[in-house]
Amino acid sequence: MLEQQVLNGVMLGSTYALIAIGYTLIFGVLHLVHLAHGEVFMVGAFAGLMAVRFAGGDVFMAIVFGLAAAAAAGALVELLAIRPIRRRKGHSLAPMISTIGVGIVLQEVVARTFGAEQVGFPHRMEATSWHVGTITVSSVQLLILGVSIVLMVALHLFVTRTRLGMAMRATAESASIAHTLGIRSERIVLLTFVIASALGGAAGVLVGLSFNAISPFMGIDMGIKGLAAMLLGGLGNIYGAMLGGLIIGMAEVLSVAYLASSYRDAFAFIIMIAVLLLRPRGIFGSLHHVEG
Amino acid sequence: MFDQYTESVLIFMLINVVLALSLYLPVSAGLLSLGQGGFMAIGAYTSSYLTVTFAWPFLAALVAGGLAAFLVGVIVGFPALRIKGVYLIILTMGFGEIVRVFFLNFERTGAASGLGGIPGHTTLPWLIAVVAVLLAGFWQLRRSRMGRAIAAVREDELAAEIIGINLTRVKIAVFAIGGALAGLAGGFYAHYASFIDPAQFGFHRSAEIFIMVLLGGMGNFIGATLGAVTVTLLPEVLRFLQDWRMTFFGTLLIVMMILRPWGLVGARR
């Protein structure tokens, strides 16, 4: 039984990790808690659903569409709701309020367009499942794991091996020094939003496939858990976010299996608070990036 | 005096003022919380449970609700001693979520189906009196020793500690009293709405309270009050937009932050 639970925890955790990476990228570069990231995730899920429903696409179409739609949404959020505020150098929390506004708008627009009810993917795409000893693995689970790993490895390579990735790290380290060195920080910020949102959009489709239910209001739950995962790993740390996602996913699955299942959503936060009491800056946290 | 619609808007407005002040207090010491809905839930559930099940008098139940939120505030305040900035915001968000999930599963207060039949004790005069007392209190606080200590903690913690301000006491006090005020507001809310369920006190509520304070400007309590009034009245004014009013509200929030990133009456520091 335990092996099965661990496997389920890793699956769920890898989607949390994808969301947490998005939060952490944006926080690292902008020092902004993007409170509409959960809604961008939701937009990705709906775009994936549309691709399957109207274009008759398969799972990969859904992921590509979800990813692209979320990336576009993320870019729009940055251009319309973040950049103008940063230009005016207002209160450091003004962009955060603005993202709450963005979250409301995205939720409402999707709810008005597609209805406020939960919808599912047309046919359950969980075609096959395999039994390995005591463990059952479905194709959707393998897909989630595969796509998550591919995306995370791609991000790792991008951040460490490319010039743009380097520029992104430099901007995260110090925006002003990066600017002096000739890095065009405006572009880097936009790029960060696009990458973060694309990862969130892919996670949206994966979660939609695995629970077979998406709704305009799913962003809040997932968003809060993604934030908790980012916090666990330490703000602005990509690998911390991956680990944080796994821990939150694992905690959730194990608490359902061995403790009271109805408290699953609280358990993740209890773990988060416990870790923060021991390490106030998260597992990989440093002294940087503390003040919002 | 007023027709029922106007009265209900005024009552929700004054409850929101109490909620905004409940967040402004910790904010004035530099502690931001996105979990104020959790304190509100504790106050609402405690006071309604007492009036519904044990037929407690309104005032006693209200005080008990505030007290319960105060005690929880002390507990939540302790992590706030070490955890700052964004970490604290997300931690309090987690706290709000824990409270919501707790009441979602707590059978005695109706769990997910909510708690109904709460007597309608909240009236306009009650709320006017409470808000007046609170505003007078905040006015007094500004010039008092405690008020200056709070401002010092916000501006520079280390310097405040060096000149002999007890950081622990100030931080836990503002957090717990803020929690108690939110709990009080929750009690008033429950005894007007007559039905409560956990969904009413989720992230949306906490975010709304957060918006009130930041929209008004974090500089002083008048800003928080004004923010509360704005956030209550805007959706009412926008009612003619019908289904699209929340979309418009969200857009307006973005536009306001672009035009006045320091809040409505916020001072540039």
Q: Residue A292: its chain B contacts at CB < 8 A? A: 32, 85-86, 89
Name which of B86, B101, B252 is nearest A263 (Cβ-Cβ): B101
Residue B264 touches chain A, beta carbons under 8 Å: no
Q: Does A90 touch chain B (CB under 8 A)?
A: yes
Task: For residue B217, report the phi and psi dihedrals to the nearest 5 degrees.
Answer: 110, 130
A residues 176-235 closer than 8 Å to B (CB): 220, 224, 227-228, 230-231, 235
Q: Is the Cβ pair B253, A290 closer than 8 Å?
A: no
Task: For residue A28, list chain B residues with Cβ-Cβ distance below 8 A.
Answer: none
Asked if the Cβ–Cβ distance from B250 to A292 is below 8 Å, we say no
pLDDT tier, B198 (very low <50, low <70, confident <90, very high otherwise):
very high
Give me B168's structure tokens: 């622990």
Strand bridging mode A135-138 / A129-132: antiparallel
Q: Position A223: which residue type?
A: G
The pLDDT of residue B181: 97
Please choose, from the candidates B235, B225, B199, the residue with its C-alpha nearest in 3D space to the C-alpha of residue B44.
Answer: B199
Inform me whether the pLDDT recorded for B269 exceeds 70: no
Mean pLDDT of B66-85: 89
pLDDT exceeds cutoff 80 at A89: no
Residue A97 has pLDDT above 80, yes or no: yes
Q: Who wins on pLDDT, A15 or A94?
A: A15
pLDDT of residue B155: 84
> Are A35 and B207 in contact (CB < 8 Å)?
yes
pLDDT at A127 over 70: no
pLDDT value, residue A123: 59
pLDDT of residue A291: 40
pLDDT tens per residue across span B18-36: 999 999 999 988 888 999 9
CB-nearest partner of B214 from A97, A224, A263: A97
Chain B touched by A35 (CB under 8 Å): yes
Average pLDDT over chain B, rounded to an integer: 89
User: What average pLDDT does the segment A71-98 reach?
Assistant: 88
Q: Using 50, 70 and 90 to split pLDDT, how confident is the model at A287?
A: low
In this structure, are residues A248 and B117 in contact, taking their beta carbons and an 8 Å threshold?
A: no
Residue predicted with more confidence, B83 or A166: A166
* Chain A CB within 8 Å of residue B83 CB: yes
Average pLDDT on B42-59 reads: 94
Q: How far apart are CA A16 and CA B251, in angstroms?
A: 28
Which of helix, strand or coil describes residue B196?
Answer: strand
Answer whether residue A292 shows pLDDT above 60: no
For residue B183, what are the contacts with CB-CB under 8 A and spacing of at least 6?
B39, B40, B42, B43, B44, B46, B65, B66, B67, B68, B69, B70
Candidates B82, B83, B89, B90: best to mutate against A (most CBs of A within 10 A) is B90
| Nearest CA distance, B254 vs chain A (angstrom) | 5
CB < 8 Å to B258, chain A: 81, 84-85, 88, 98
Question: Which chain A residue has its CA at the smallest distance from B91's CA?
Answer: A273
A260 or B268, greater pLDDT: A260
Q: Which residues of B touch A277 (CB under 8 A)?
A: 79, 82
The predicted model gives A261-286 an average pLDDT of 78
Percent of chain A scoring above 90 in pLDDT = 44
Q: Would you place residue A262 in the very low, low, confident or very high pLDDT band (cuts 50, 70, 90)?
A: confident
pLDDT digits (tens, 9 = 90+) for B118-141: 998 888 998 999 999 999 999 999
**Predicted ipTM of the assembly:** 0.83
**Residue B51's pLDDT is what?**
94
Please list every residue in chain A whose beta carbon sits closer than 8 Å to the beta carbon of residue B266.
91
Of B79, B85, B105, the CB nearest to A292: B85
Q: Where are the domains of chain B?
A: 4-201
- A112 contacts B244? CB cut-off 8 A: yes
Q: Is the pLDDT of residue A70 over 90?
A: yes
Whether pLDDT at A126 is above 60: no
pLDDT band for position A34 (cuts 50, 70, 90): very high
Minimum-distance CB partner of A235 among B86, B101, B204: B86
> What is the rounded CA–CA span in Å between residue B35 and residue B24?
13
Of A88, A103, A230, which has the smallest distance from its Cβ to B261's Cβ? A88
Question: What is the widest separation between alpha-carbon atoms in chain A?
Answer: 61
Place of tokens 């001693």: B81
Contacts of B215 in chain A (CB under 8 A): 97
The answer, for A111 touching chain B at a CB cutoff of 8 Å, is no
